[in-house]
């Protein structure tokens, strides 16, 4: 019996647990099946909400990337015309069902098939020979397409025009070679050399990162190092527009690095060069490790932050200068002009920095925002990321397995 003036325990905060009600006849199964219509209706409501205006688009790159993932997990190389025909058929089917309740499922299936087909087409388009076993003395001649200035050694990519090796008939298209620091030839030059070539590095353990896949999609069939001197000779032809473009951009990077070298030294120079040109190899190992241990390593990779700074500074600077002219500010859309100037600056920064995956994603997002400003549309939406991810995957489906894309969009 409760004491006078004290509440009964069952009526207080610390009341006893209520007595459980007896289970209905038939056990637990009828209760579950009785709630099944409500569960189905809830799932349908969620699906209708996701398929609402503007909400379906973010799922398209997810399905598109799923098709690319299926391609990379396939046991053997698919037949290109079969997967292309299938993807086109699913796309036409989705168009025909655009007013049907099956449109959502149809467009997702079409996106999966399209991702699978794009990855297959990209592999078939860049297919090239890959070295299967080491070659210890190979005579090579070709054009230098790219050059990396590293801390201890330099590295360059050679587009091979002639190759001679004993007991080997393979003809590689591109190789990546290491040389002593300061001896890498200029981009665009035609050279002759002897090298030791090795097959692309396979995964260290099952399921680990596959560096040979990256080299394949870069068009590189082997790596190695130069043996002896490098001889620059007269090229048999001009090398093409792509080589002239690579030489021009490399000249810009070298000029910027020379200007920075005259002002800064050591790792300060290396970090400044990395932020402007994307070349991070000159940063010393202690500083590089310290940046990643402190969680600031992503700052060295040109991505969204850097692209936003460049585009934002150009946008506001151009708009501020145009606003000083009353006739322009009152009679013309200087905001759109500023967005166009910022888009050009962002595109130049993309090319100057080497157009890595993270930089491409950032540029496409920035471009969508700036184009939206120019056409009087909303610029900041979640669809911006979806459109950028879809463009990156369509241009470079191999980016799906890169950590930079996964950190940007996953």
pLDDT at 33: 60
Lowest mean pLDDT among 175-179, 263-267, 332-336: 263-267
Domain locations in the chain? 30-125, 135-238, 301-409
pLDDT at 12: 42
Query: What secondary structure, in 3-state letters, does the chain show?
Result: CCCCCCCCHHHCCCCCCCCCCCCCCCCHHHHHHHHHHHHHHHHHHHHHHHCCCCCCCCHHHHHHHHHHHHHHCCCCCCCHHHHHHHHHHHHHHHHHCCCCCCHHHHHHHHHHHHHHHHHHHHHHHCCCCCCCCCEEEEEEEEEEEEEEECCCEEEEEEEEEEEEECCCCCCCCEEEEEEECCCCCCCCCEEEEEEEEECCCCCCCCCCCCHHHHHHHCCCCEEEEEEEEEEECCCCCCCCHHHHHHHHHHHHHHHHHHHHHCCCCHHHHHHHHHHHHCCCCCCCHHHHHHHHHCCCHHHHCCCHHHHHHHHHHHHHHHHHHHHCCHHHHHHCCHHHHHHHHHHHHHHHHHHHCCCCHHHHHHHHHHHHHHHHHHCCCCCCCHHHHHHHHHHHHHHCHHHHHCHHHHHHHC
User: Of the given ranges (63-72, 93-102, 156-165, 237-246), which has the lowest mean pLDDT?
Assistant: 237-246
Least confident of 12-16, 50-54, 151-155, 236-240: 12-16
Of these ranges, 125-139, 143-157, 224-238, 253-267, the one predicted with the greatest mean pLDDT is: 125-139
Task: State whether CATH 2.40.50.140 applies to domain 135-238.
Answer: yes
Surface-to-core class of residue 170, CB atoms within 10 Å of its CB (0-12 exposed, 13-18 middle, 19+ buried): middle
Whole-number average pLDDT of the chain: 82
> Under a CB-based contact definition with an 8 Å cutoff, are residues 265 and 132 in contact?
no
Alpha carbon distances (Å) from 384 to 51, 91, 201, 390: 17, 23, 36, 10
pLDDT band with cut points at 50, 70 and 90 for residue 151: low
Instruction: Count other C-beta atoms under 10 Å from residue 139's C-beta.
Output: 13
């Amino acid at each position: 019996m409760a004491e006078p003036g004290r509440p009964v325990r069952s009526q207080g905060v610390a009341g006893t647990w209520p007595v459980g009600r007896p289970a209905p006849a038939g056990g637990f199964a009828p209760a579950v099946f009785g709630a099944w219509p409500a569960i189905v209706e809830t799932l349908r409501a969620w699906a209708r909400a996701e398929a609402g205006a503007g909400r379906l688009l973010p799922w398209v790159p997810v399905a598109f990337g799923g098709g690319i993932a299926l391609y990379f997990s396939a046991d053997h190389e698919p037949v290109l015309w079969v997967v292309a025909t299938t993807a086109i058929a699913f796309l036409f089917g989705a168009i025909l069902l655009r007013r049907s309740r099956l449109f959502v499922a149809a467009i997702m299936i079409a996106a999966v098939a399209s991702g699978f087909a794009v990855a297959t087409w990209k592999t078939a388009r860049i297919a090239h020979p890959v070295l299967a076993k080491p070659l210890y003395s190979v005579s090579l001649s070709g054009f230098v397409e790219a050059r990396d200035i590293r801390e201890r050694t330099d590295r360059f990519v050679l587009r091979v025009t002639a190759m001679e090796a004993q007991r080997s008939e393979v003809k590689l298209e591109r190789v990546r070679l290491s040389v002593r620091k300061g001896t890498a030839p200029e981009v665009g030059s035609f050279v002759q050399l002897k090298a030791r070539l090795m097959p692309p590095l396979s995964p260290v353990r099952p399921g680990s990162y596959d560096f040979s896949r990256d080299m394949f999609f870069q068009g590189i069939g082997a790596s190695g190092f130069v043996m002896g001197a490098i001889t620059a000779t007269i090229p048999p032809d001009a090398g093409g527009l792509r080589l002239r473009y690579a030489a021009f951009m490399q000249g810009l990077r070298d000029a910027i690095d020379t200007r920075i070298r005259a002002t800064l030294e050591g790792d300060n120079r290396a970090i400044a060069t990395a932020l402007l040109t994307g070349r991070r190899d000159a940063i010393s190992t202690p500083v590089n490790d310290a940046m990643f241990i402190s969680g600031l390593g992503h700052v060295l990779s040109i991505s969204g932050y850097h692209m936003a700074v460049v585009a934002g500074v150009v946008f506001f600077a151009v708009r501020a200068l145009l606003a000083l002219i009353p006739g322009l500010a009152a009679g013309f859309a200087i905001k759109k002009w500023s967005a166009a100037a910022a888009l050009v600056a962002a595109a130049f920064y993309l090319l100057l920095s080497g157009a890595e995956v993270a930089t491409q994603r950032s540029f496409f997002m920035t471009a969508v925002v700036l184009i939206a400003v120019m056409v009087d549309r909303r610029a900041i939406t979640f669809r911006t990321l979806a459109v950028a991810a879809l463009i990156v995957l369509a241009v470079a489906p191999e980016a799906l397995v890169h950590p930079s894309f996964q950190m940007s969009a996953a």
